[in-house]
Amino acid sequence: MTTQSTSTVLEASRLGLSFSHNGNTGHKHVLRDISLQVSRGEIVALLGKSGAGKTSLLNIIAGFAPLQRGSLRFASEQTAAHPPFSYVFQEDRLLPWRTALGNVSLALERIGTPRADRDRLALAALADVGLEAAAGQFPWQLSGGMRSRVALARALALQAPLLLLDEPFGKLDAATRGEMHALLRQLQERHGFGALLVTHDIGEAAALAQRAMVLHAGVPGLLEVPLAADQQASEALLRQTLLAPAEPAAAPAAAPAGAPGSIPAEARRASAPASNEPVMATRRTAMALGAAAFSTAALSCSSRAWSQARAPLRIGYWATGIQLALIELIRERKLFEKHGLDYELVRFADVNGNTLALATDRIDVAFSVSGAGALDLASKKRPVRIVLSTQAADGRLVTNKPDIRNVGDLRGRIVGMAPAGSAGAAYTKAFLAKNHGLAADAYRTVGGGEARLVQLLVQGEIDAALLREVSVIQFKDRLKLHALADQRAEWGRLAGAGAVPPLGMGVVTQKILSSRREDAVGFIAAVIEGIRTGSAQPALVSELMARTLKLPPEEAGAYARTWGISFHGKFEDADVASLDAAQKLFVASGGLESVADRAWFDQSVYRDALKRLA
């Protein structure tokens, strides 16, 4: 990466991004020949349909994803003290134990700003967004719009010439989003920074940007659309550009400009290159596009011929948290390839996506189906087998109240835990009742996610909470937490020595076990090897968490320290006994209709995988 003239804050030239898919059979091009430029004093919007690669492009520019092809130039040399850009994420990512001022100061701490200057600069940034009076408030005391302002102030405090915005206002209501639009325009006029805004919202792009770049999935280049002062006209132009087919390869005759389904002439003219070099051009020669179409068709025919012989193993995974880091580790180390798999990764945004896909034959294997979901499939005698205990529930029952010294002191108190009906809540209530004599009516419960439970502890609205180990590591000293019970140790008392509370299970369809058993063994071997690699190399895990989830180093390091606790990667007799105990508990609590036959718990795949790894 090199520097650029002071008027241009970003110049990206011919960027490309691809990744392997179907094992060793080919590459999927996410971005091809992408060029764009952002100058001081302008906002450039980046639009495209879901999956077009907008966030991937932003991640390459920010350094969160590798620069595989092309070049990047910024307005200034990138140094720790003077970064050439700042980044505003989709979520506000405010630390609950820090005030608004403390959250903004954090950005300055990370670039080494002297302590004497941090509060002054952070307070000035808060004043810029109209929140100087809220500097001492914690995130849980702020509205959604105020939290977005703090996140924006955190980026402004760096005084970078370029602002990268990844749909920062997408979760706000329409009125608050309009206020944030007006604020961003004012700040940009005041400070003169350039901005690249990723958005799905055509109205937002038309309201904020002077130019828009439209990205079509799988098509080289960008369509550049100049935006007019008339917002309605700009919206109409963007809508036509976004919904139109991305320049057909070799159409016999071009559609008339303005015809339904055609790319507007304004967009075509704006995207034409100023020279013969096709850096930002979207208008390609018929020969080049025809060749691309031919190669795509040939590859498609080749894929079809291959699939008739042997279809890729369809591997499902839930795209969240530490599971993403494990998938990334396995991919980067090519562990699936190492164990002979031709595969296709199928990503699910919902925790139950794997379960439903297995039941409807849309995937062949999944490395971490929720424990309750896997047991539900088994109890209903679906054609699947549970073959690995991939993840274990981990955590500690903690409190910040000095007068609560042991679990018995929770009688009559308020205890925070996972939402009612979840496996986490069932495990917590079970050990409180059976190990400590605290029946469900002996205390009050409040359910919620991890962040909410931490906030409730800070506010004093709950007396104790079952928090994951990664949260305990991060908050123990700041919130003066002390542990009352270890969930794993408590579960061992319930289910037997060596048992861990099952959270995520490796599941394989019976069809794959019958026809391609070696692939099932290879899949489990790759998962186990990935888990072991992460346990042995915490620095690698920390880097993966920071890159994959865009976590700050401290939080990424906490995940690395708990990798060996979160992941289990075994299916020994103790794990089968633990799974059996869990399903009986779920049936008793109403979370599962019936107990599964233990024939659905297949240890042979795990044992064969261990032989392969020996």
User: Who wins on pLDDT, 80 or 207?
Assistant: 207
The percent of residues in the chain predicted with pLDDT above 70, rounded, is 84
223: nearest Cα among 207, 247, 203, 200: 247
Q: Is residue 286 part of a domain?
A: no
| Angle formed at CA 604 by CA 601 and CA 609, multiple of 5 degrees | 120
pTM of the complete model: 0.55
SS3 414: strand
Q: What's the pLDDT at 385?
A: 96
Note whether residue 288 is domain-resident: no
- The CA–CA distances, whole Å, from 497 to 343, 412, 575, 577, 604 equal 37, 31, 10, 10, 22
pLDDT at 153 over 70: yes
* Whether residues 147 and 109 fall in one domain: yes
Spatial CA neighbour of 350 closest among 318, 307, 397, 389: 318
pLDDT interval class at 218 (50, 70, 90): low
Q: Which of 191, 226, 243 is the last residue of a domain?
A: 243
Tell me the pLDDT tens digit for each residue of 375-413: 989 998 999 999 999 999 988 999 999 999 999 999 999
Q: How far apart are CA 243 and CA 49, in angstroms?
A: 9
489-548 pLDDT per residue, tens = 999 999 988 899 999 999 999 999 999 999 999 999 999 999 999 999 999 999 988 887
Residues 89 and 54 in one domain: yes
CB neighbours of 96 closer than 8 A, spacing ≥ 6? 138, 139, 140, 451, 454, 455, 458
201 plus 235 within the same structural domain: yes
Which residues constitute the domain of residue 213? 2-243
Residue 333 pLDDT level (bands cut at 50, 70, 90): very high
In a domain, 189, yes or no: yes
The per-residue pLDDT for 504 is: 93
Is residue 359 located within the same domain as residue 437?
no
pLDDT at 217 over 60: yes
Say whether both 441 and 516 belong to one domain.
no
Least confident of 104-118, 308-322, 490-504, 573-587: 308-322
Residues 417 and 562 placed together within one structural domain of the fold: no
Residues 409 and 462 in one domain: yes
Domain count, the chain: 3
For the four alpha carbons of 405, 409, 414 and 416, in that order, the dihedral sign comes to: positive
Distance CA 349, CA 320 (A): 8
Instruction: Please check whether residues 515 and 528 belong to one and the same domain.
Output: yes
On the question of pLDDT at 269 being above 80, the answer is: no
Q: Are residues 370 and 443 in the same domain?
A: no
The DSSP output letter for 264 is P
- Regarding whether 574 and 476 lie in a shared domain, the answer is no
Domain end residue (candidates: 221, 243, 265): 243
Confidence at 244, pLDDT banded by 50, 70, 90: low
Using CA atoms in the order 183, 189, 195, 197, what is the torsion angle rounded to 10 degrees? 40
Which H or E run contains 222? none
Q: Which of 160-164, 424-428, 551-555 has the lowest mean pLDDT?
A: 551-555
Q: Could you give the CA distance from residue 59 to residue 166 in angstroms, rounded to a whole number?
A: 9
Residues 6+ apart with CB under 8 A from 581: 494, 495, 496, 499
pLDDT tier for residue 52 given thresholds of 50, 70 and 90: confident
On whether both 159 and 31 belong to a single domain, the answer is: yes
Q: In 418-468, which ranges are E strands? A: 444-447, 464-467
Residue 286: is its pLDDT beyond 70?
Answer: no
More confident residue, 2 or 280: 2
Average pLDDT over residues 593-598: 90
Q: Write down the residue that tokens 């339904």 correspond to.
A: 260
If asked whether residues 511 and 455 sit together in one domain, one would say no
Please indicate, yes or no, if residue 299 is contained in any of the structural domains. Answer: no
CATH number for the domain harbouring residue 432:
3.40.190.10
Cβ neighbours of residue 26 closer than 8 Å, sequence gap 6 or more: 20, 299, 303
Strands (E), 300-443: 313-318, 343-348, 365-370, 384-392, 396-399, 414-417
Tell me what pLDDT residue 292 has.
29
Q: The domain spanning residue 36 has which CATH number?
A: 3.40.50.300
In angstroms, rounded to a whole number, what is the distance separating the alpha carbons of residues 106 and 317?
A: 34
Is 558 a residue whose pLDDT tops 60? yes
User: Which pair of tokens denotes residue 591?
Assistant: 């979370």
In a domain, 31, yes or no: yes
- The kind and range of the H/E element at 334 are none
Q: What is the pLDDT of residues 187-208, one digit of tens each?
A: 888 889 999 999 888 888 888 8
**Boundary-marking domain end, from 495, 516, 531:** 495
- Tell whether the model's pLDDT for residue 256 goes beyond 50: no
**Cβ atoms within 10 A of the Cβ of 41, count?**
15
User: DSSP string spanning 508-553?
Assistant: EEHHHHHH-HHHHHHHHHHHHHHHHHHHH-HHHHHHHHHHHH---H
Tell me the longest C-alpha to C-alpha distance in the chain.
81
Yes or no: say if 398 and 483 are a contact pair by the CB < 8 Å rule. yes
Residue 602, in any domain of the structure? yes
Name which of 339, 394, 351 is nearest 568 in CA terms. Answer: 394
pLDDT in tens, 136-149: 888 888 888 899 89
Q: Is residue 285 part of a domain?
A: no
Angle at 233 between CA 232 and CA 235, to 5 degrees: 65
Q: Collapsing DSSP states into helix, strand and coil, what is residue 409?
A: helix
Cβ atoms of 221 and 282 within 8 Å: the answer is: yes
Q: Is residue 272 part of a domain?
A: no
